[in-house]
Structure 1
Amino acid sequence: MYIFVNKSILHMFKIIVSTIPMFVCAFWCIVLLSEYKSHNKAKIFLGFYMFVAFLLYLGHAAYFNHEYQFYGFWENIYLFCSLSVYPLYFIYIKLISRKTSLKLKDFWVLLPSVFISLFSFVLYFSMSPQETKIFLEDILYQTSYSQNFKLTPLLTLQIFKLRLFEVIFFIQIIFVVYFGRKHIIEYNKKIRDYYSNTEGKTLQQFNYLLYIFIATSFASTVVSILGKSFFTHSTWLLLIPAILFAALLFIIGYLGFKQEFTFTTFVEDLNKDAIKDLLDKNDSQVDYNELTQRKLLTELNELLEEKEIYKKRDLRITEVSMLLNTNRTYISQIINENMQTNFSDLINGYRINCAKNLLTDHTKKTFGLSEIAEMSGFSSDSSFYRIFRDKEGVSPGDFRKKNCNGIQHTTINEKNIELRKNSIF
């Protein structure tokens, strides 16, 4: 009786473990697709991605719980889903980093998954019952450990199909990681060259998505090399990839849900600023001579040092270009090439210097960090704290204490910001 109960508990535990990633995908699929009213295409597409991932992990659950008949058929769908999740994630990366809408040609990366799935269906329906039994038990599950079964042409093709699947899967990971990272880097550069305040636009969540993307790719490669049958012998072995993939999928879903700013938002801001791509392209071809460059650099320095335009919290490069009576492409080029930086870092450098002067000014010792942040042009306390710490290596509060000749004056606002710093980072 004890052994029977123990086996029942272990079996139930195995079912729970094997379905964890599936339910994580189902949760985010529902949450993200419920955002359809917000017209956020990236979230809706990520919801579709989670639906495909749900079908994939449904196949995983069936396999690990030895649902032979169900998995025998579902394996054809499983192959499609398994070869689709990375290309779909790549399309999602394109949608948040360089596309305002998707076209049919964007889905060409799904062709290998469609081909393998159709090929698999043809083989499945062409096999005899005996061949199907051998395919399930000896090839997929490797349970009989028999070398005496007859390897028919159809079974040979099934083995070839599985090897081809592994090769395509590995190539996909390399392709998606390389080009996905490239798209994100290019997007980040555009954002830093356009906005002075990049908080919530690129510096945090996009980087996290990239790291998660690489981690998921590595974990998928390891599981693919070991093979699913490696994890069928022990529930505890199965628990490792189940928890890992569930955690990664949850973070992907969470960050995708929180990410409101995308390339579409960026294009909308460009349109609001009345920026015409054609105008930029034409102006960018103008051959500005060295004298003109020096003149613009001088005028730019005057705007920053005398007029202190960096104190405008939501300053964009288009506003600077209009003040200098030129186009944003050329101003961005001057900042990148002549100053060896980007627009965001340039403006925040001036803001940091302003904040440092205020923090060490004894006449401003009663000012809290929130007031210092606002006076310097930062959009929020968290942005001020993060950028200051990145540039100076210490928090604004610690900087003030070290540079005020021993005078320690901490306002209520300063205390609140210092207490929040651990939760922010």
Structure 2
Amino acid sequence: MVFIVLILVILESYSLIHQIDILTIVTFIPASSSKLFLGSLLFIYIKSLFYDDKIIIEKYWKVFIPFFLFMIFYSLPTFVALILKQNFLGYLDIKNNENQIIIIISDVVFLVYLTFCFNSFLKLKKIIKCTYSSITHNNFIWVRYILIAAIIIISIDLILVLSQVLFNVYAVVETQNIIMLLLVTSIIYVAYYGLKQSKILVPYFLLENDNIANNNKVQLIDNKFKKEFITLEHRLKRILVEEKPYLDTELTLGKLAELTAISDKKLSILLNQHMKISFYDFVNNYRINAFKDIIKSDAYNKYTIETIAFQCGFKSKASFYRIFKVKMRMSPSEFKNSFN
């Protein structure tokens, strides 16, 4: 669907450059509303990485409202005006004389969509850390790249069109060709990485309740349950020390909840609301401490830092070095050398 829209937009630019009236009429509706449509699709796509498709339709269909309003009040009436080749309630004048204003409005709305997308992406990243102890292969870094790239591209387009309006520096058609070429490149990048990325399965209660994924929110635990959570905290820490489940590189919230004999929802509340720590940070703290204990032992001098890190449950060298440096304020090599 995205590629069809992009092709139609490029064809419309081609038709305007070469003054092919029939092609302009055919491609006008999808091209004129393409940015609003793509903005809505991008938001839905990010949600689809985490939510069930049925839930997405029920919860987020409203993001298409700006697109439909734009279609009703601009695209369709202007399309009729183009076919009739006469002023239709003033819409032909808009098409001919105020196209830059429409582009500016589309760019601003698209930037609003991208802002919501980025905010949603950051929240979902927090939710991943409430479920997984290792996110090396599920970090969706390419989503961040495409959002940043799209923001830059649309911002450039907005600046160029404003320059055309204020100073008559650039031709709008030429501007749109450049912008759409950049967008095509970005979408291809998304398609390449996105098709290889499966959904991230996280408990639905985390998606529904942002408070659980955010330690700065209001406390959810009632005072009468505090003693229960204190007991659960002691049990959880005892299990971590005695059974060392953190050595499992694929440890998840569900696995640890099963081992602790409580529900994953209660474990999530215990960690995020009672202990004020994400599942990701909680587990990796134990892995860091295990590494520190091992590195002090002379028996492990023959092992490399990376080998020891993997034995302690870390899944990748990069994540281990990053987490260790954040926690210890020094590199693993510096820590090791401090004991020699």
TM-score by length of 2: 0.76
Does the Cα contact within 8 Å between 2:104 and 2:161 map onto a contact in 1?
no
Q: 1:256: Cα distance to partner?
A: 2.3
Which residue does the alignment assign to 2:76? Answer: 118
Unaligned runs of 5+ in 2: 209-219
Give 1:89-104 correspondences, 5 Å limit.
89-101=42-54, 103=57
Q: 1:111: Cα distance to partner?
A: 0.7
Q: For 1:317-361, what per-residue CA distance to the aligned partner results, in whole angstroms no more than 9, with x for missing partners?
A: 222223333222222122112332200011112112222332343
Q: Matched residue of 1:399: which SS?
A: helix
Which of these residues, 229, 233, 236, is aligned with residue 293 of structure 1? 229
> Which is further off, 50-59 or 223-232?
223-232
Give 1:16-415 correspondences, 5 Å limit.
48-63=1-16, 65-69=17-21, 72-73=24-25, 74-101=27-54, 103=57, 106=61, 107-115=64-72, 116-128=74-86, 153=90, 155-158=92-95, 162=99, 165-166=102-103, 168-202=105-139, 204-227=141-164, 230-232=169-171, 241=179, 244-245=182-183, 247-258=185-196, 260-262=197-199, 265-266=200-201, 289-392=225-328, 395-396=331-332, 398-399=333-334, 402-405=337-340
Aligned equivalents of 2:188, 2:327: Cα separation in 1: 32
Unaligned runs of 5+ in 1: 1-47, 132-151, 272-276, 278-283, 406-425
Does the Cα contact within 8 Å between 1:196 and 1:347 map onto a contact in 2?
yes
Aligned equivalents of 1:223, 1:257: Cα separation in 2: 33
Q: 1:374: Cα distance to partner?
A: 2.4
Letter in 1 for 2:193: L
Does the Cα contact within 8 Å between 1:360 and 1:403 map onto a contact in 2?
no
Aligned equivalents of 2:275, 2:179: Cα separation in 1: 48
Q: 1:85: Cα distance to partner?
A: 1.8
Compared CA separation, residues 227 and 353, structure 1 to 2 (3 A): farther
Letter in 2 for 1:98: Y
Q: For 1:142-165, what per-residue CA distance to the aligned partner results, in whole angstroms no more than 9, with x for missing partners?
A: xxxxxxxxxx95643546874773
Letter in 2 for 1:118: L
Compared CA separation, residues 377 and 353, structure 1 to 2 (3 A): same
> Which is further off, 211-220 or 372-381?
211-220
Aligned-pair RMSD on alpha carbons? 3.8
Which residue does the alignment assign to 2:217? Answer: none
> Once the two structures are aligned, what percentage of the paired residues are identical?
21
Aligned equivalents of 1:315, 1:390: Cα separation in 2: 21
Compared CA separation, residues 386 and 243, structure 1 to 2 (3 A): farther
Does the Cα contact within 8 Å between 1:200 and 1:261 map onto a contact in 2?
no
Aligned equivalents of 2:261, 2:161: Cα separation in 1: 57
Q: Matched residue of 1:194: which SS?
A: coil
Does the Cα contact within 8 Å between 1:59 and 1:78 map onto a contact in 2?
yes
Pick the structure with greater CA Rg: 1
Aligned equivalents of 1:49, 1:302: Cα separation in 2: 52
Aligned equivalents of 2:177, 2:107: Cα separation in 1: 23
Letter in 2 for 1:399: E
Aligned equivalents of 2:280, 2:91: Cα separation in 1: 60
Does the Cα contact within 8 Å between 2:134 and 2:250 map onto a contact in 1?
yes
Does the Cα contact within 8 Å between 2:50 and 2:201 map onto a contact in 1?
no
Q: For 1:152-200, what per-residue CA distance to the aligned partner results, in whole angstroms no more than 9, with x for missing partners?
A: 9564354687477346414522431332233223322221111111222
Aligned equivalents of 1:164, 1:49: Cα separation in 2: 24
Aligned equivalents of 1:338, 1:61: Cα separation in 2: 60
Letter in 1 for 2:299: T
Compared CA separation, residues 358 and 109, structure 1 to 2 (3 A): farther
Compared CA separation, residues 244 and 166, structure 1 to 2 (3 A): closer
Letter in 2 for 1:50: F
Which residue does the alignment assign to 1:32? Answer: none
Q: For 1:52-92, what per-residue CA distance to the aligned partner results, in whole angstroms no more than 9, with x for missing partners?
A: 123223323444x4445356424444203243222222222
TM-score by length of 1: 0.63
Q: Matched residue of 2:40: which SS?
A: helix
> Which is further off, 188-197 or 385-394?
385-394
